[in-house]
Every structure is written in structure tokens, then in C-alpha cells.
Amino acid sequence: MGSHAVAKLVCLLILLAVSNVIGIKLLQAQLIEKGQSFDSPGIESVKITVGVVEDVILSPWGISFPARIDTGADLSSMDARDIVVRNNVADFKLGKHYGGRQLQLPVVDWRHIQTAMGTEKRPVVELSICLGSKHFRTLATLKDRSEMLYPFLVGRTALDGKFLVDPSRSRAAQPACPSASSVSTHVPFPITQ
């Protein structure tokens, strides 16, 4: 192969590589603008920016809660009234503002939580939530939060690797997840009415 042909081949390969990089960067910018993640080998997943207050949706029930983003809390916490734990299943009600539904969830752990009043032992359940455009499972303690401003608290374990917190913003990432039926046909927890 002549030197002229080799030069053409090298130029063509460089042109293809540059256009591929430009295309990836444009795609990544479009996904960031839409609040979606971009997972590709060698390219970091895009993290969604959230403010100090965001709305979360509890799946598969589609129940929306205003939530306080709290990087000081390890686990998330959900408002649960009249909690009764039997046979490792938590039976509780949601507040009237959030449908007052009676739910049952398996208890996966118990945690001792430090509060202003001392230490409390709380049941921990696994929840499926939508925050921004991300739908994921996370652990949460159950606690009567009727005296709190927000019925849901999102802790750092739920945020880790997926979100960046901007304390100057609020409601920066509205829930935009597919419906629970399209996310999973398996209902992870029994529901009682």
C-alpha cells in the first residue's frame, strides 16, 4: 500500500473517531437536558440534580409525597401511622392527605435512630420510589411523621451515586418515571384496603 493510501486511511480513521466522540457528547448533552442517565463503558452515568424538597412517587401504588432531601440521614423515612409489626410484616396507614391507605410491607431490618428525644427502634422496609427520572428500590424506616412538615425524608443511601443535591434549589427534578405497571409486572408487596 502506498504512502498516499495509508495517509488517506489514517485521515479517515481520525475523522470517524472524532465524529463518534462528537456524536456521543451531543447525545450525552441531550440526555442531561432531559434529566436522563447515560450509561456507556468509559462514560460516567449522569447524576440528576435535586433540591432540598422534591416530590417522590411510591410504586406500585402511584402515591405522591413531598419529600425533604436529607444528606445527614443515612436511611430514608416514610410517614406511617398506627404501625403494628407481626410475623416480620409491618401493617400501617398512610396519612389522610396521602390517601389514608392501609399497607403491609415485609420488615427487612430494625434500626436504632438517634432523635432529639433520644434513641428509637424503628422497622425498616424496602420501598420502590420514583425521584426525578430514576425509579429505584431503597430502604426506609417507618415513623409517624404527622408532626413533621414532610411525610417522606430521602436519606443519603437513596441518593448515593444517582443524585447531586443543590441546597439553593427546590423541586428541581419532578418525578418522570414510567408507570409502575410498565416498570414491573410483579407487585413487590401485598396491599390491604
Indicate the domain borders of the chain: 1-46, 48-183
Q: What is the mean pLDDT of residues 154-170?
A: 96
Q: What pLDDT does 25 receive? A: 54
Backbone angles phi, psi at 78, to 5 degrees: -120, 140
pTM: 0.69
Does residue 21 register a pLDDT over 50? Answer: no
Q: What pLDDT does 79 receive? A: 97
> Which residue has better confidence, 161 or 28?
161
The dihedral through the CA atoms of 73, 75, 79, 83 has a sign that is negative
What are the pLDDT digits (tens) for 83-140?
A: 999 999 999 999 998 889 999 999 999 999 888 888 999 999 999 999 999 999 999 9
Please answer whether residues 28 and 38 qualify as being in contact, where contact means their C-beta atoms are separated by less than 8 angstroms.
yes
Does residue 55 register a pLDDT over 50? Answer: yes
Q: What pLDDT does 46 receive? A: 83
**For the structural domain made of 48-183, what CATH number should be given?**
2.40.70.10
Q: What pLDDT does 98 receive? A: 87
Integer Cα distance of 49 and 133 in angstroms: 11
Q: What pLDDT does 118 receive? A: 86
What are the pLDDT digits (tens) for 31-46?
A: 555 555 444 444 446 8
> Which residue has better confidence, 11 or 103?
103
Q: What is the mean pLDDT of residues 171-191?
A: 57
Report percent pLDDT > 70 for the chain.
69
Please answer whether residues 137 and 150 qualify as being in contact, where contact means their C-beta atoms are separated by less than 8 angstroms.
no
The dihedral through the CA atoms of 187, 40, 74, 94 has a sign that is negative
